[in-house]
Chains A and B, each alone.
Chain A
Amino acid sequence: MTLENVLLVSGAIFAIGLYGVLSRRSAIALLMSLELMFNAVVIAAVAFSRFTPPAGLADGGVVLASDVQAALTGHVFAVIVISVAAAESALALALIFALYRERQTVEITEISELSK
């Protein structure tokens, strides 16, 4: 397993998500596609963190605290992104629910009053 392989998976998932965002009409599907893009980014962040260790850890010498912090940066990013995404999903779902009650639809093409 190399960085390239993981990044390819990540890029593929990102592209699938992007395609979903641009093409789907349902707000739910849009939200799901957005989650895919988030997760692709998370995978990329973790992969970079895993396959590119800081120089201090790799040379077998004294392990400094700063080296450990540097090695965990990707993982921390991943945790933060996941939590933010969860919050965002909750908020977006709430908006979608409110929208559905108002319009009986979640098709985003139907809600374009401002452009008309």
Chain B
Amino acid sequence: MFSEPLAWLIIGLPVAAFILNGTVVRAYLKSESLVAGWITIGAVAGSFIISVAALIHVVNNGASIHEQREWITIAGLELTFGMMLDQLTAIMLVVVSGVSLLVQFYSQQYMHGDKSYVRYYSFMALFTASMLGLVTSRNIIQLFVFWELVGVSSYLLIGFWMERPSAAAAAKKAFLMTRFGDFGFLLGILYLFFVNGDFPDQNLLDIPTLYEVIGAGGIAASVATWISLGLLMGAVGKSAQFPLHSWLPDAMEGPTSVSALIHSATMVTAGVFLIARFFPLFEASNTTELVALIGAFTAVFAASMGLVANDIKRVLAYSTISQLGYMVMALGIGAYAPAIFHLFTHAFFKAGLFLGAGSVHHASGTFNMTYMGGLRKDMKWTYWTMVIGSLSLAGLFPLSGFWSKDEILTVAFERGSDDGLAIGWVVLVAGLVAAFMTAFYMFRAIYMTFHGEYKGGAEAEAEAAKANDEPEPVGLGHTHRQESPWVMVAPIGILAALAIVIGFLVNPLIDVGPINKHAFATFVTARNENVFVYEGKHGAGDNGHAEADDHGDNHSDKSHLPDAIHSGAEPHFNILVATVSSILAAGGIGLAYMMYITGQVSAANMGRRFKSAHTVLLRKFYFDELYEDRITIRFFYQRLARFLAWFDITWIDNVNVQLSKLTGNVGRGLTNVQNGQTQTYAAVMVIGFVIVLLAFLAWGA
């Protein structure tokens, strides 16, 4: 067992930094005090060291799952929390704290002189703590709390420059759209809680217990389907998958370092983490095809929008969505280890690319690539590190992206050819198309940014805006065409170095010195008494699954899935798939070279020839229009809100108005009883007398 207090310290250190920065530094020192940076860096460095220790411990001794502790106990409701350090968590811990450490280090220079420097570091510490808490959660409610906390810190950091209306709007958009997904997540939890009523002795909200119950076949496929659909909705929102993808490109309004940490390497992978965390549940459900389809569609769909974006950060954002789609589709076809492996390698090279984009912005003052160019000569380090990152993202041998992407494609190929599943072919084709597009748009970005003639940077952009009578774009900085300081370059360099070696070193095809063949995949899928009992049950005679089969409708093609979690544990390498994907990636790079360097293929001509397609891509498939104009304004404001207003006025309000009118009328009518006119009294008296008389005559005495 890894020491539990030490494990809690992983979260505790950044929390302490957040509190210290937020209460002491911000209140008693200047708001741009450099102390805040040192505090956060120190805390995250502490977390990183403990995380590495935890990873080493888990590698040597297996998962370390600490006991549940009582959290809330009300009649009929017992919530627990606990520290769960399994293989998946250990990897996520190292990724999150490692990338966070590098980004915090980098931010010292990138955010230097910002008037809210202390606020920046407070929020970054809060985010790091929340994300670390998310991956270590043992209880699903505990996980949900941290899940929302990363959402909040993401909101705070996207809207960090809240004086810009676009940043404030982007923050709101990100918050609301992910909240939409979280609604589904919460419904899934509620349904799980409801199902828990059938298990009086067990707490299904506790993740290891849930694994056990699923392993024992205790959860029917239909139940698992509903729960996993809810969880999938949360994952789709958080990981910006189609159709909730459109918040992530807008989230680039935040500082670039925030994008590097939150919107590429860590928070957006929380959705993938969630599916991976509840992988046994997904496996027991009928949802996996949907997961694969969403991921495959998103991978191609987002990459296509990246083809035409001119903002370097947006290109990277679309690339992130696309790569997250890769991970999701990998999980959907049961390629558990390859998905986590891709998450792992992607975090490093994508964070490196974002930090590189920040470095470019430092020099040119803009993110618009049409005003860059020629920066290669001035910024050698940034150039080469970004080329390495792009090559890795494009999936070229022998960089890390090649290994992880290839694993996914190979599993897809096997699903298609060996298992004869259509979904495997779909995923394979989507993956190959996305790989081609990725290579193209990344090298388009590289060539536009670093090659050709320098086009003036922020000043040229401001002049162009003035010439066209447009408002000056927000966020333009000063241009000083030189390499960024070493504080910024060093983290990029480290990430680029990792992007080169980490894919092969961590998950090699052959034994390399002390590293065993396929160490990463073996590790992440390692059988653990507490975790993947599902597999054990399956091996013991298929009992668990046989029962699930009775409930499922289309289970006939799924008999392979119980051991799917171990897909990728064995070395996967298919020379055909690797060659095809490499050729496609090289083709993408070549096409970008021809369009943007030699000019053999004119980008402008292409844009004209495929004008309608080009416009559709530039307008992001009109999804912003669909969501904001059609759904929000036309439907919600104009139809739904109007209908509700009408209902409110004509029914809810009107009933009250009519009731009060009725009482008024009754009262006014009753005043006639006492109107002061003697004649009336006399008339009433006479009428009464006549009635009495008639009654007397009719019925007698």
Contact = CB atoms under 8 A, between A and B. Distances in A.
A108 B679 CA distance: 9
B682 A116 contact: no
Interface stretch (B12-20, B199-207, B627-635, B669-677): B669-677
B676 to A, nearest CB: 2
B686 interface: yes
Interface in A57-116: 108-109, 112, 114-116
Contacts, number: 21
Nearest to A109: B677
B676 A115 contact: yes
Nearest to B684: A22
Interface string B672-694: 00111111001100100000000
Contacts of B675: 112, 115
B691 to A, nearest CB: 15
Contacts of A46: none
A21 interface: yes
A112 B676 CA distance: 6
Interface string A5-29: 0000000000000100111000000
B676 A22 contact: no
A108 B678 CA distance: 9
Contacts of B679: 21-23, 108
B548 to A, nearest CB: 86
A43 B330 CA distance: 116
Contact of B676 (A18, A23, A116): A116
B365 to A, nearest CB: 84
Contacts of B676: 112, 114-116
Interface residues of B, number: 9
A68 to B, nearest CB: 36
A108 to B, nearest CB: 7
Nearest to B675: A115
Contacts of A18: 686
A58 to B, nearest CB: 31
Give chain B's interface secondary structure class: helix
Interface string B429-460: 00000000000000000000000000000000
A112 B678 CA distance: 9
Nearest to A116: B676
B674 A115 contact: yes
Nearest to A112: B676
Chain A residues touching B, majority SS: helix
A22 B677 contact: no
A23 B679 CA distance: 7
B677 A112 contact: yes
Contacts of A116: 676
Contacts of A21: 679, 682
A116 B676 CA distance: 8
A12 B679 CA distance: 20
Nearest to A22: B683
Query: Which of A18, A22, A114 counts the most chain B CB atoms within 10 A?
Result: A22
Nearest to B674: A115
A66 B529 CA distance: 131
A36 to B, nearest CB: 15
Contacts of A115: 674-677
Contacts of A22: 679, 682-683, 686
Nearest to B687: A22
Nearest to B680: A22
Contacts of B677: 108-109, 112, 115
B342 to A, nearest CB: 91
A3 to B, nearest CB: 20
A22 B684 CA distance: 10
B679 to A, nearest CB: 6
Contacts of B674: 115
A22 B686 CA distance: 9
A66 B675 CA distance: 51
Nearest to A113: B676
Nearest to B682: A22
Interface string B593-627: 00000000000000000000000000000000000
B629 to A, nearest CB: 63
A116 B683 CA distance: 20
B405 to A, nearest CB: 95
A114 B678 CA distance: 11
Contacts of B682: 21-22
Contacts of B686: 18, 22
Interface string B256-296: 00000000000000000000000000000000000000000
Nearest to B678: A108
A114 B681 CA distance: 15
A22 B676 CA distance: 14
Contacts of A112: 675-677
A23 B680 CA distance: 9
Interface string B70-107: 00000000000000000000000000000000000000
A108 B675 CA distance: 13
A115 B680 CA distance: 13
B668 to A, nearest CB: 16
Nearest to B683: A22
A3 B675 CA distance: 41
A50 B512 CA distance: 147
Contacts of A109: 677
Nearest to A18: B686
A109 B679 CA distance: 9
B149 to A, nearest CB: 71
Nearest to A115: B676
B683 to A, nearest CB: 5
A97 to B, nearest CB: 20
B401 to A, nearest CB: 95
Nearest to A114: B676
Interface in B646-701: 674-679, 682-683, 686
A101 B18 CA distance: 95
A109 B678 CA distance: 9
A91 B674 CA distance: 28
A114 B676 CA distance: 7
A115 B676 CA distance: 5
Contacts of A108: 677-679
Among the interface residues B675, B679, B682, B686, which one has the most CB atoms of the partner chain A within 10 A? Answer: B679
A99 B440 CA distance: 109
21 contacts: A18-B686, A21-B679, A21-B682, A22-B679, A22-B682, A22-B683, A22-B686, A23-B679, A108-B677, A108-B678, A108-B679, A109-B677, A112-B675, A112-B676, A112-B677, A114-B676, A115-B674, A115-B675, A115-B676, A115-B677, A116-B676
Interface of B: 674-679, 682-683, 686
Given A112-B675, A112-B676, 10 more contacts: A18-B686, A21-B679, A22-B679, A22-B683, A108-B677, A108-B678, A115-B674, A115-B676, A115-B677, A116-B676
Closest 6 CB pairs of A and B: A115-B676, A112-B676, A22-B683, A22-B679, A22-B682, A112-B677
